[in-house]
Copies of this chain bind each other. A is one copy, B any other.
Amino acid sequence: MDNRSNILSCALRLFATRGYDAVGVQEIVEAAGITKPTLYHYFGSKQGLLDALLKESFAPLYREVKSASVYRSDLPLTLHQMAKAHFDFANRNKMFYRLQLALWFAPPESDAFKAVSRLNHELYQLTEEVFMRAAVDHGNMKGRHRAYAATFVGMINNYIALSLNGYARLDDQLLYQAVHQFMHGIFS
């Protein structure tokens, strides 16, 4: 593996397990077996490293969720596909999803939060658009697409957070249960 990829992978692991602010540049380069100038050659700064890390890791997640978010008048199906895209990605990229969740809830003035907020918003938009289109078919949902999108994304991230801490397994059964509960509640 080339140095650049190696730095990214070590930084991801350290940031995800200990936090962006708590990990120093020195620690990253030691983990990667290189020295500081090499890191600064590729990324310019610690912040630049985080930006590159987030941007390149977000790209496949966004792509997969986007292709899962086609809506053809079958809301349960679309929600199922979108949740599955999230679950599959989280299963494959546990470290990155850990980091992503931590940054999403990070203090609003922190560098880390600023770096991730725009990317996260683009992802959220995909969900909101689905509920907007669904409101055409389901009259009683009109005007509540933002609330639904926020709840749905929150629920997905909640399940992923549970699985990352060992309280659940992101399998098809949980996927079905989650989407079903979202649509029909716990009394059914």
**Which B residues are in CB contact (< 8 Å) with A184?**
184-185, 187-188
Q: How far is the CB of A120 from chain B (nearest CB, A)?
A: 11
Shortest Cβ distance from A141 into B: residue: B186
Contact with A158, one of B112, B146, B150, B188 (Cβ below 8 angstroms): B150
A148 adjacent to chain B (CB < 8 Å): yes
How many copies of the shown chain assemble into the complex? 2
Interface of A is mostly: helix
Beta-carbon contact of B106 and A19 below 8 Å? yes
Beta-carbon contact of B185 and A105 below 8 Å? no
Contact with B along A151-181 (1 / 0, CB 8 A): 1001101110110010110000000011001
A54 adjacent to chain B (CB < 8 Å): no
Beta-carbon contact of A18 and B158 below 8 Å? no
Q: How far is the CB of A125 from chain B (nearest CB, A)?
A: 13
A38 adjacent to chain B (CB < 8 Å): no
A108 adjacent to chain B (CB < 8 Å): yes
Beta-carbon contact of B151 and A154 below 8 Å? no
